[in-house]
Amino acid sequence: MGKESGLERVLVVSATTLKSIPEAPLPPVLKAKTLPTVVVQASKGWLRPDFRAIWDYRELLYFLVWRDVKVRYKQTAIGAAWAICQPLLTMMIFAVIFGRFAKIPSNNVPYPIFALAGLLPWTYFSQSITRSGGSLVADANLIRRIYFPRLIIPASAVVAPLVDLALSFLILLVMMAWYRVVPDWAVLTLPLFICLAVCAALGVSLWLSALNVRYRDVGHAIPFLVQFWMYASPIAYPLSLIPRRWHVLYSLNPMVAVVEGFRWGLLGKGSPELEAILTGTVVALVLLLSGLVFFKRMERSFADIV
């Protein structure tokens, strides 16, 4: 209420509120614009995701990512430095325990660089699935009250950690300069492996976030899953440590392809493990496609059960 007496203003208004609405004029003819017609009905069977609707809402994706990035380090003392600290501190622990004590080989590059190059894509991946796993439940209010393609929510949780990845990448560059590691032409393949990481993360996130709406068990299982998954990926150790005959089975884990590819592209030592990278790519795509279909199938009941 303004500076004048609020009560007086309200009183004056109140007398006219209900009576002041005149007969509405006939509505003018709507602009000759094609109005989209939407049919709402029970959907049946397996469905294709509606990419058109997702494209229409791409700006919402942008704003949700922006919200996540903005809010994440609010009211923290060191702010976005956390994005750098997490992989950096883990690298130090790894360097001492695995590099110094356990003397794990590191493909002829200094162990800290070796570990950090694996930790960056891994931190991205684990952040993505941790954040997106509970994302639908966290935004339950939105889901219950406003329509938009629900896929935007886990998708934004997979895109937002890319900002952290970019920040911590700077540290990796500084470390590489310090250790005088110079990348060769293979560095050009790096964006491809980042894409692969996004595909794998989105695929897993779609499954987990949709399942978590129905079964909150998923939320409890995710921390364990992430821990297990890290040891099942060549982050603290090189792929060469795994016996040859297990390679096919081992590389069903798409993060093997991501981490190996990332390291090869950046540190450029040896030849890439093509077999592992191909297997991982196929698995990541299967996860993504099945995730999209599964999510679409679950999506229709989100508002009722979340």
Name the minimum Å distance from CB 56 to other proteins.
8
Among residues 305, 286, 296, which one has the least CA distance to residue 44? 296
Can you tell me which of 51, 55, 147, 178 binds other proteins, judged by CB under 8 A? 147
Contacts of 210 (CB under 8 A, 6+ apart): 136, 294, 295, 298, 299, 302
CA distance 203 to 290: 8
Contacts of 61 (CB under 8 A, 6+ apart): 54, 152, 155, 156, 159
Q: Which is nearer to other proteins, 35 or 78 (CB)?
A: 35
Name the minimum Å distance from CB 195 to other proteins.
25
27 binds other proteins (CB under 8 A): yes
Among residues 94, 107, 96, which one has the least CA distance to residue 267? 107
18 binds other proteins (CB under 8 A): yes
Part of the chain binding other proteins (CB under 8 A), chosen from 37-45, 157-165, 171-179, 262-270: 37-45
3-state secondary structure of 88: helix
Can you tell me which of 3, 4, 52, 59 binds other proteins, judged by CB under 8 A? 59
Cα 212 to chain centroid distance, Å, stands at 16
Can you tell me which of 4, 25, 48, 271 binds other proteins, judged by CB under 8 A? 25
At residue 193, φ and ψ (nearest 5 deg) are: -75, -30
First to last CA, the chain: 38
**Residues in binding contact with other proteins, number by CB under 8 A:** 60
Name the minimum Å distance from CB 134 to other proteins.
14
Residues 209-248 that bind other proteins (CB under 8 A): 214-217
Residues forming the site for other proteins (CB under 8 A) = 1, 6-11, 13-21, 24-30, 35-43, 57, 59-60, 62-64, 66-67, 70-71, 74-75, 141-148, 214-217, 300, 303-305
